[in-house]
Amino acid sequence: MTLIEMLKGAREEIASGFRRYPVWVALARESIGDQHRRTTLGPLWLVLNYFLFAGAFVVVFGHSNQIENFPAYVATGLYVWLLMSEAINMAVPLFRREANYIQGTTLPLFVYVMRLAMQTVIRGAYSGAGWIVLMLFLVQPSLEQWLMAFAGLAVIVLALPAVITVFALLGAFFPDFEFITSNVMRVGMFLTPIFWIHGNDGGLRQMLYEYNPFTHFLAIVREPIISGELPVMELVLCLGISAFAWVLAFFLLGALRKKVVFVV
C-alpha cells in the first residue's frame, strides 16, 4: 500500500465516521445511561464523585500548601486530569471491547472512536458542572476568564478523537500496552502538577513540570481561572501536540484499519 493510498483510506475512514454522527451520539448516550441505570442519582453521581475527589485532595494536601487559592488550583487541575486520563485509559482496550461490533458490522472504526470521545465529553460535562459551581464559589471568574478557560477545554476536546485513535490502535496490536498505560497513568497523576508547583532550582521537579505534556493542558484551563491570564506559550504547545496526534492518528489509521478485525 502506497503512502497516498494510506492517507486516502484514513481520510475516507474519518469522513465516514463523522457522517454517522447519529450512531455514535446515540451509542454514547446509551452507554452513559447503562452505567447509571436503576441508580437514584443517575449521572449526577459523576458530579458527586468529582466533589468527593476534589475535596479529598484539598483536605489531604492543602493544610501546609503555599499555592495561592489552593482549592481552586486543585479542583481545576483535577477536573482536566480526570477528563484526559479517563479517555486514555478507556481508549487502549476500545477495539477489543467493541470486537463483536467490529467483526459483525461494517461500521467504520472511527465510529467507535467518536463514541468514546462523545462519552468522555458527556461525562466531562456532568463533572464540569461541579467544577463550575466550585469556581463560582472559590474564584468568581469574569466572563473573559471563563471564555479563555473554555477555549482551553475546546483544544482538549478537539484532540480527543486523535488521542483515542492512537491509543486504541496500539492497544489492539500490543495487548501489554493496556497494562503499561494504566501503570503510567496511575503514577502520572502524582508526576503531574495537579496539587503541586515546580521550584526554580532546576531540579527533577522542574523537569517533570516542563516536560510533562499534561502540565500544559492543565495550564490552558487553569491559568485563566486562577490568574486571569491566557498562557499563550502553553496554548501554542498544546495545539502543536494536538496537531501531531492527528497526524499520527491519520497514518496509523491508514496503515492498520483493515487489520484490526483480525487482532481483536
Mean of all residue pLDDT scores within the chain? 88
Which of 107-111, 112-116, 208-212 tops mean pLDDT?
Answer: 112-116
Q: Answer whether 117's CB lies under 8 Å from 18's CB.
A: no
Average pLDDT over residues 16-20: 89
Helices (H), 43-142: 44-61, 70-91, 94-97, 99-104, 109-138
Average pLDDT over residues 78-102: 92
For residue 112, name the pLDDT band (cuts at 50, 70, 90). Answer: very high
What per-residue confidence (pLDDT) applies to 218? Answer: 95
What per-residue confidence (pLDDT) applies to 62? Answer: 62
DSSP class of 193:
S
- Contacts for 186-192 with beta carbons within 8 Å, 24 or more apart? 188/85, 188/212, 188/214, 189/81, 189/85, 192/77, 192/81, 192/218
Average pLDDT over residues 95-118: 89
pTM, 2 dp:
0.92
For residue 33, name the pLDDT band (cuts at 50, 70, 90). Answer: confident
